[in-house]
Structure formats: structure tokens, C-alpha cells
Structure 1
Amino acid sequence: MFTRRHALGILGAGIIAPRAYAQARHVYDLTPIQIADGMWMIEGSTDYFSMQNGGAIVNIVLIEGDSGLILIDSGPSLRYGEALASVARRLDLRGVSAVINTHHHPDHFFGNQVFADKPILSLGETLSAAVSDGDAFADNMYRLLGDWMRGTEVVPPTQVISSGEVTIDGRSFTALPLGGHTVADLAVLDRQTGTLIAGDLVFYDRAPTTPSADLEIWQASLNELEAINAAQLVPGHGPVDKTRAAIPQTRAYLSWLEHTLRNAAREGLDMIEVMDTTLPAEFAGMGAQPQEFHRSVSHLFPGIELQELPRGN
């Protein structure tokens, strides 16, 4: 576990920032926006991880329960979790009553440390993946974000959420165990408002990330989410969607991405040549482009090459 070394607040360049500088500069300014009765969203930046945004790129949802606020995802760091706890107390003096982690990517669960005394729920495979991959994720996050990560330790989920109709702190949800973005992706439908919190199965005006992706399974999950016909949808990244545009956009991007990589493999292009691909206008304007396209090439192209290249006898 990352405790002693990371508690020192080591920067990616190996320089320890002065405490006064860290306190002055590394502050998250989180603004909750009410999106339904008893429900608020904190919208993340659509940029890639940077020292400017402190990794605050994920959407967070806070939902009113019987004894406090139910938090869906907890952000990228201890500092973020502390800022989130402060926001929750401003909305409800009782603070956070429970946490749900939609999946195991670090921007979604590294704030868990602040809420370790509360139930932290996820799918079983998400819990296992957080345990097995957490330290490697933490190492990478410290390199990317330096002192924003000061003191952050990996705290995996503690309870497995069941599928179907569930009640958390008196609030009724439908838990949808899916996958494709990662090995296990949880979407949650709030029964009271008809709001679908889709996690990173859906991106809106922000390029999808693919380090753990299975594109075929992901597309099937999108079909299931679209069939719900929710009143509104909160994507993992990007603005709340009231127009039912986010799922088709995510589906179209993933289809284009797979088609582009398969054609490139059949044409014998190398990875650098694929990265030079000109993005279509509808995708070039997404947040975090072309960085996410380049990352997807590195994640997905080697496997697609193996599938597409001719095999010898």
C-alpha cells in the first residue's frame, strides 16, 4: 500500500513541494449543481489529467438519503475527497452516509480514504480490481499530479452491491452490473427521479478512455443503458444529458475507433502512423483529444493487429 512514500507528497520530478506552497496552490474548488430533487452533480473538467486541474476530471453525484448524502464516486485523491466532504456538509449537515464506486479507475475511487468509516459499495469485480491494481494506479497518479496526491492512500470498496432493486440509506435504486469500459462497470438508476448515473460507460463531449476496454462488451452495455429510456443521464465525464445524445455519441466514437484501428492493421500501418490519423470533426472537438485517441491506439492497436494480421501456416 502507498503510505510512507506517498504521504511525503513527492512530485513526479522527485521534488518535495514546500507545505505552504502546496496549501496555497493545491485546492479543489468544487461547485455542486442541483440536477433533480435531492440530487446534485459536481462536473469534472473534460481535459486530461494535469497539474492545472489536479485530476478533477470525473463527475460526482450526491443524492439525498435518510441519514445523509449518498456519494457516487469519490474523486482522484485525498485532497479531493476532503473537499467533497466539505461540499456534502454544506448541502446536508449530516454529510456523506454511503459511497458507491462505479468502477476501479483511480479518478473515481481514490477519494474513498476520507469516507473509510462509511459503507463503500461496488461490484465484486470492481473491489477485486481496486485491490490488485490500486498501487500501480497510485504510482501513476503521483507521477501525473505530484503534490495534488499528497497523503493519498488506496482504500478499496468494502461491500459488494447486489444487482437489481437495492435500497441504500432509504433511497431506492436499480443497480445495473455491466462492463466493457472496465471488467466491471456499475450503472445506477435512481428510482425517485429517473436519473441514470452511467459512470464511464458513457462519455459526453469528452473522448472515452480505453485502458481497460473491451469494445464489444462496451457496445452491448450501451444498448442496455439506452433501453432504459431514463429521464436524464449523468455520464462519467461531460455535462448532464437531458437530450439522449450522450449514448449515441459514445457508441459512434467507439465504432469509429474500432473501425479505424482495424483498417490500419489490415493496411499494415505501424502505431506511429495510426496516431497521425486525422480525427473526424465530430470527434476532434471532444475534450482530451487527441491525447485520448493516442492513448487508445497504444492500448488497443497491438491486440487488434494480432487479430487482423495474416497468420502463417
Structure 2
Amino acid sequence: MKLGLLAWLCLAAVGAGAQNLPVPPFASTPDMARLDYDLKPRQIAPGTWVIEGEVADFSRANGCNIINTGFIVTGDGVVVINTGPSRLYGEQQRRAIERITREPVRRVIALNLHPDYFFGHQAWADTPTQALAGSVAGMQAEGRAYADNLYRLCGDWMKGTESTPAREALDPKSLPQTLQVGSHRLELRRLEGHTADDLVLIDHTTGVLFAGGLVFAERVPTTPHAQFARWTVSLDQLAQWHAAGQFRTVVPSHGPVHEGTAGIRQTRDWLQWLTAQMQGSAERGLDLAEVLRQPAPERFARWAAQPAELHRSLTQWYPRYEERALAGTPAGR
């Protein structure tokens, strides 16, 4: 009974005790009257910049800017990661990059199919835009529905926005792929679980991981396209890469940039709790209304988008657990 992101957006109109992370104040001051996102790139490593979204849920007050986008200035051009929730964001992102560097942008990479990863692509019509083939297919299939719902959620911030899927599909069989771009050695790898095709980028030169939607920090994970067991496996893989020294700094698509594996552990903790909660509640015969009334554990209570994001997950996924419990078969996770 997978509803997909369309219904998810409509609902919006490595273990317990994971380390808490400081959440800095939202650096930008969006101006709704002028439709100005007030994007403020922050350098986190040599040549590496992040434009941080608010650690929050979609709202008109924040311009629906809740995603971290980034760019790497390599000495031989710029690589952009994610382009935000609207045409306006993409245009303002482009101007923000131009204030930092005069190097040309060589490529734009979207890490998955969700709209705030690629709705700014309109501003990059003269630049190669890339994503995994499965993500491109998802963008093409669901883009119009995403736009309809984001217009309802975000209002005037979406003016002139049209779904613009990535134009170049990365073949999963070609990954992992290492790119030497200027002075930076970048590696693209495919994982899965948050969606069916999750792209991550590791900058081996600076030790920065752009983790996409696989990692959330201090925010309840979104799960409209989730494959829970595979997501957990991917988180374990990220933890192994960290232990092997392949990265130090994590840029989640949602939540504060941080050092180490705290975001990985937080995300894993949430997924394990959520699936166990649904499984146990279904086995006890609770209905959805009863499950929705149950609060999340205290360790999650202060996370952004709580309880709204929990309620979206339960509304989408709990009926599947109920069906499996009634049939006497284990719930798929």
C-alpha cells in the first residue's frame, strides 16, 4: 500500500541513544514579499560549500527550503549537488555560486528523485544535469504531481516552476565511478533504501560525504519511497566507509552538517524503532487511530517535523503491517 510522494505531500498540506547534534540557527532570512531565499553558502572544507536549508518541515515561511544543497569549486570548474525546491531557488543558487567563484559549472547532480533535489534544474538549462537512471525515471513519472502539491504547500515561491528532470541518466552498472575534477577526486556510488536509487558523492580530497536522503540529522526521516531493510543495509555500508577513513564530514540532505556518524546512527535508530513499533502494534491488533495517538520516544521528541512526519509514515505504512499480521505472515520492511 505504498502511497508515493504525491500522497505524502498531500498529507503535509546505529542504535538507541544516538548522539545529539547541535542545530545552528537557520542562517537565511527568507523574504516572502520579495521571494528572496537569502541563500548563504558556507564553506565546510577547501573548495566545498553548503547552502543549508532550515531543519524543519515544508512551510511558506521558509520558502519550502529544507534541503542542503552544495557545490565544489575544483579549480577546473564547479560541481553542484541538488538544486532545491523551485525555479527561484535554482536561480538564486546560481547567483550565490557566482558570488563565490568565476569558475564555470561543469555538472549538476541530483542525489534522488524527490522534488527539492531537482526542481531548481530550470536554472541550469545550459549545464549537464545528472542523476541515477531510476531517479530520472521517477522524476519523469511523478514530476507533475510533485509540482501540483508543492504549489499548494509553498505558494508564490513556486512561481514559474516546472518539473525539469535531470537530462543525463547515470547507469548504475557504471558505478562506483571516480572523477578527477580539477584538484578534487570525487566518487559517485549507488545505494538504496530511502528511495530505490540513492546516489551519494564522496569527495576523497576533503573527506566530505554528500549523503543525500539516506542520512537525516535532528529531523524525522521521510519515508514515501522507503525500503526499510535496504535502507538499514545502506546505513551500515556508510558506517563501514567512515570506519575505513573514506570520509569525515557528512552533509545530509536534511539536518545539520556534522562530523562522524551521528546522523547515520540517528537515522538507523529511527528506522529500527519505527518498524518495530508498527510490527508490535499490528501484532497487538491496534488500529491506525490508536497507533497515531502513541507518542514517539523522548529521544526523538525534539526532532524537526515531529510528529507530522511520524504520522505520515504511519498513515502510509501501518496498513501494510496490519494486513500482514492478519494474514499471519511477517511484515515486509
Question: TM-score under structure 2 normalisation?
Answer: 0.84
Q: CA deviation at 1:231?
A: 1.3
Quote the Cα distance in structure 2 between the aligned partners of 1:213 and 1:23: 33
Q: Tell me what 1:303 maps to.
A: 320
| Aligned-partner SS, 1:201 | strand
Q: Tell me what 1:147 maps to.
A: 156
Q: CA deviation at 1:95?
A: 5.0
Higher deviation after alignment, 169-178 or 265-274? 169-178
> Which whole-Å deviations, capped at 9, do the CAs of 1:204-234 have from their partners, x for residues lacking one?
0011000111101100110111111121111
Structural mapping, 1:270-285, within 5 Å: 270-285=287-302
Asked if residue 108 in structure 1 is aligned to residue 117 in structure 2, the reply is yes
| Aligned residue type for 1:145 | C
8 Å CA contact retained: 2:32, 2:63: no
Q: CA deviation at 1:291?
A: 0.7
Q: Select 1:185's aligned residue among 171, 194, 198.
A: 198
Quote the Cα distance in structure 1 between the aligned partners of 2:146 and 2:251: 25
Structural mapping, 1:60-79, within 5 Å: 60-79=69-88
4+ residue stretches of structure 1 with deviation over 4 A?
none
Q: CA deviation at 1:268?
A: 1.5
| Aligned residue type for 2:300 | F
Quote the Cα distance in structure 1 between the aligned partners of 2:41 and 2:227: 32
| Aligned residue type for 2:113 | H
8 Å CA contact retained: 2:77, 2:103: yes
Q: Tell me what 2:238 maps to.
A: 225
Q: Select 1:256's aligned residue among 268, 273, 282.
A: 273
Quote the Cα distance in structure 1 between the aligned partners of 2:138 and 2:177: 24
8 Å CA contact retained: 2:75, 2:103: no
Q: CA deviation at 1:172?
A: 2.3
Q: CA deviation at 1:310?
A: 3.3
8 Å CA contact retained: 1:65, 1:168: no
| Aligned residue type for 1:165 | Q
Distance 1:281 1:195, change over 3 A: same
Structure with greater contact order relative to length (CA < 8 Å, sep ≥ 6): 2
Q: CA deviation at 1:101?
A: 0.3
Q: CA deviation at 1:97?
A: 2.7
Distance 1:164 1:289, change over 3 A: same
Distance 1:76 1:218, change over 3 A: same
Distance 1:79 1:95, change over 3 A: farther
> Which whole-Å deviations, capped at 9, do the CAs of 1:233-273 have from their partners, x for residues lacking one?
11111111213211011100110010111111111222121
Q: CA deviation at 1:311?
A: 5.0
RMSD of aligned Cα (Å) = 1.8
Runs of 5+ consecutive residues of structure 1 not aligned to the other structure: 1-12, 14-21
Q: Select 2:179's aligned residue among 161, 167, 172.
A: 167
| Aligned residue type for 1:102 | L
Q: CA deviation at 1:23?
A: 7.4
Asked if residue 117 in structure 1 is aligned to residue 126 in structure 2, the reply is yes
Quote the Cα distance in structure 2 between the aligned partners of 1:165 and 1:108: 21
Q: Select 2:64's aligned residue among 55, 69, 76.
A: 55
Question: TM-score under structure 1 normalisation?
Answer: 0.89
Q: Select 1:209's aligned residue among 196, 206, 222.
A: 222
Quote the Cα distance in structure 2 between the aligned partners of 1:281 and 1:311: 32
Quote the Cα distance in structure 2 between the aligned partners of 1:287 and 1:114: 29
Q: Select 1:243's aligned residue among 236, 256, 260.
A: 260
Q: CA deviation at 1:46?
A: 1.4
Asked if residue 35 in structure 1 is aligned to residue 44 in structure 2, the reply is yes
Give identity over the alignment, percent.
41
Q: CA deviation at 1:94?
A: 3.5
